[in-house]
């Protein structure tokens, strides 16, 4: 069944779309090969792909004001064709990409950086207030991480996590009311990972793992669940990423949208997951009884307030780091003093600036003095894909808006064009 937010496929330029699917299919063959152990990127096959994407890019005229699904898909095909020409060509060139080249590749605009600066200044007092509330909450108790190297403690922590994950799965089913969520529950393994500290979702393996260490803690020999962390990570990984996988698989979008789960689309996908991380708390607040079986020693409303504070502090940290990467990207290895000056007015903690810059002191290209591409590429998370569009939506549009943002893997510009289609709000 095609989602209601999608327009019909009837007016698509079949030749261009089919050509795009064919070329992207060739690229996927290479990507699948590179997933294997000891694989080597064949230079000749890479050259063939570059030529195919180059021909595709040249054959498409960018549409300045896209008004239909046809326009949006055509524009996105041109963007990703250009992106893969650039990134594949770099593999054949020993030269290291410059920060400007990396920034252009990920569609990072001056307005994205201006948003960071504005947000950090406008929310400074709110961040300080949230931090004070957190100080008051945690000032009378200490907690320790669970030492997961111990089999006895690991078994106990995993058992506690699995029990609360099952409770949370049922609670979300009560408040979310999406058939696609049932599909996620039926086709994905949703469990806990005690080895990898970071939570994640894997489309290929069809799993979503919540990090044990981040969600369980100990006090006086007893183990407890951190409800804020567990709910937030579940919202991000399961509602954000896994629902995106399911919605996209069920859609009739072309291959270069359905399977483009690579770096060029990571910013918009993470933005969607961040939205659902926040959204889950709003949903559960409508039915606090849905998680009444959680082992919580405080009302959910208080947990919700603590989550909002935690979320705000996380956003502050993320945006401050992004601004730091931007300042470094527009500087050189020897520009330490100017970098300090540019960042000082945005950091609440005076010491943070020198700490951040020194932490990345080895991330410069020694031959050019410029920041290395893998660090510059972190700036793709500065693109506020969902936030920019959400502010323009009416409350009555939210259900269709959420279906739209869950459908497809898009570059930031393609995402904005897709979610701005009239079909997403009518």
Indicate the domain borders of the chain. Answer: 141-255+275-302
Quick one: DSSP state of residue 410?
-
Interhelix angle 110-122/124-138, rounded to 10 degrees, is: 50
280 contacts 235 by C-beta, under 8 angstroms:
yes
Full-model pTM: 0.89
CA-CA-CA-CA dihedral for 401, 68, 262, 62, to nearest 10: -140
DSSP line for 136-193: HHHTT---EE--TTSHHHHHHHHHHHHHHHHHHHHHHHHHH--HHHHHHHHHSEEEEE
Per the DSSP assignment, residues forming a β-bridge with 189 are 207
CA distance 230 to 216: 9
Per-residue pLDDT of the chain (426 residues; tens, 9 = 90+): 333 334 433 344 458 999 999 999 999 999 999 999 999 999 999 999 999 999 999 999 999 999 999 999 999 999 999 999 999 999 999 999 999 999 998 889 999 999 999 999 999 999 999 999 988 877 677 889 999 999 999 999 999 999 999 999 999 999 998 899 999 999 999 999 999 888 999 999 999 999 999 999 999 999 999 888 999 999 999 999 999 999 999 999 999 999 999 999 999 999 999 999 989 988 988 887 887 777 666 677 777 788 889 889 999 999 999 999 999 999 999 999 999 999 999 999 999 999 999 999 999 999 999 999 999 999 998 988 888 787 776 666 788 899 999 999 999 999 999 998 887 654
CB atoms < 10 A from the CB of 308, how many? Answer: 16
């Amino acid at each position: 069944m095609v989602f209601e937010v999608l327009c019909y496929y009837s007016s698509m330029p079949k030749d261009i779309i089919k050509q795009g699917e064919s070329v992207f299919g060739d690229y996927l063959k290479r990507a699948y090969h590179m997933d294997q152990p000891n694989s080597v990127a064949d230079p000749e096959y890479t050259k063939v792909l570059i030529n195919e994407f180059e021909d595709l890019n040249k054959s498409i005229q960018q549409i300045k004001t896209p008004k239909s699904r046809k326009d949006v898909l055509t524009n996105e095909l041109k963007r990703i064709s250009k992106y893969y020409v650039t990134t594949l060509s770099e593999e054949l060139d020993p030269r290291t990409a410059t920060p400007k080249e990396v920034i252009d590749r990920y569609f990072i605009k001056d307005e994205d950086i201006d948003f960071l600066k504005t947000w950090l200044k406008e929310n400074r007092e709110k961040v300080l207030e949230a931090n004070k509330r957190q100080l008051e909450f945690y000032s009378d108790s200490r907690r320790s991480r669970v030492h997961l190297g111990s089999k006895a403690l690991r078994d106990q922590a995993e058992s506690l996590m699995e029990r609360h994950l099952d409770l949370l799965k049922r609670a979300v089913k009560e408040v979310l009311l999406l058939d696609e969520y049932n599909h996620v529950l039926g086709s994905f393994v949703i469990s806990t990972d005690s080895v990898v500290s970071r939570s994640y979702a894997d489309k290929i393996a069809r799993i979503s793992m919540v990090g044990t260490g981040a969600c369980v803690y100990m006090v006086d020999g007893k183990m407890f669940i951190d409800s804020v962390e567990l709910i937030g990570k579940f919202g991000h990984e399961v509602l954000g990423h896994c629902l995106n996988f399911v919605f996209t698989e069920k859609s009739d979008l072309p291959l270069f949208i359905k399977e483009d789960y690579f770096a060029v689309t990571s910013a918009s996908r993470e933005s969607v997951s961040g939205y659902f991380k926040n959204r889950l708390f709003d949903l559960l607040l409508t039915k606090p009884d849905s998680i009444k079986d959680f082992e919580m020693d405080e009302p959910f409303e208080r947990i919700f307030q603590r989550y909002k504070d935690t979320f705000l502090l996380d956003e502050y940290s993320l945006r401050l780091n992004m601004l730091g990467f931007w300042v470094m990207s527009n500087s050189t290895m020897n520009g330490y003093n100017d970098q300090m000056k540019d960042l000082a007015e945005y950091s609440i903690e005076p010491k943070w600036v020198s700490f951040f810059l020194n932490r990345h002191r080895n991330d410069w290209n020694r031959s050019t003095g410029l920041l290395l591409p893998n660090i510059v590429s972190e700036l793709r998370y500065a693109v506020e894909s969902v936030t920019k569009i959400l502010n323009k939506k009416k409350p009555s549009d939210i259900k269709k808006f959420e279906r739209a943002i869950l459908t497809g893997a898009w570059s930031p510009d393609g995402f904005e064009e897709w979610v701005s289609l009239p079909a997403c709000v009518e």
